[in-house]
Amino acid sequence: MRTSLEWRKYYEENALSLVEIPWDVGHELTAEEQETIALSVQDFQAGESSEGRHLLQYAKIYAKQTGEFDYLTLSKSGR
């Protein structure tokens, strides 16, 4: 399993070779898919504050259990 810093490096390197998004094509989601996504986002928003308090609470627990304190640091920085 990769460490938090290894995942960060992976995503930073991946960001250098992104595929261009064809914005002019428009969305291709069905009404059912749109509703499913909207409900999922609403559920997340209902359980999380804009400051991410729940995320940080669980990041602290995870860091203590695994010794992966970089995960907590990265969670706080948003990177």
The sign one gets for the Cα dihedral 74, 75, 77, 79 is positive
Is 41 domain-assigned?
A: no
The mean predicted confidence, pLDDT, of the chain is 85
Is 75 domain-assigned?
A: yes
Is 59 domain-assigned?
A: yes
Is 61 domain-assigned?
A: yes
Q: Where are the alpha helices (H) located in the chain, listed in sequence order?
A: 4-14, 31-47, 53-66, 69-77
Span 12-50, pLDDT tens digits: 999 999 999 888 887 788 999 999 999 888 877 766 776
The rounded distance, in Å, linking the Cα atoms of 53 and 56 is 5
Angle at 51 between CA 36 and CA 18, to 5 degrees: 60
The rounded distance, in Å, linking the Cα atoms of 65 and 3 is 14
Is 26 domain-assigned?
A: no
Is 20 domain-assigned?
A: no
The rounded distance, in Å, linking the Cα atoms of 32 and 60 is 36
Range of the structural domain that residue 79 is part of:
50-79
pTM value is: 0.49
